[in-house]
Amino acid sequence: MMTMGDKMSFESDVNQSVRQIVDHIKLSCSRNLIDAVVQGKLTLDREKLPGLQLLVTTSIENAYRQSTEGLNGTLRQYTDKVK
């Protein structure tokens, strides 16, 4: 049986793991953009690269924030069934 503290810890642990995944995705996208420009795979003025990186990472962050409520709802449903 899961206690309220266990549920909170479980939700927190899962959210932390998802946050790490999102941070890795942002870093990977940023690095891939730089590599693509440097290797000539993407034609872009280098001075515009920081703005594009910011747009991509901000978009990923916003999508994560918008999805967090749904994730937490799913976690709550799961932990309610486990009790």
**DSSP H helical ranges for 39-83:** 49-82
Q: How far apart are CA 38 and CA 34, in angstroms?
A: 6
Mean residue pLDDT across the chain? 89
Q: What is the pLDDT of residues 41-61, one digit of tens each?
A: 999 998 999 999 999 999 999
**Has this prediction a pTM greater than 0.85?**
no
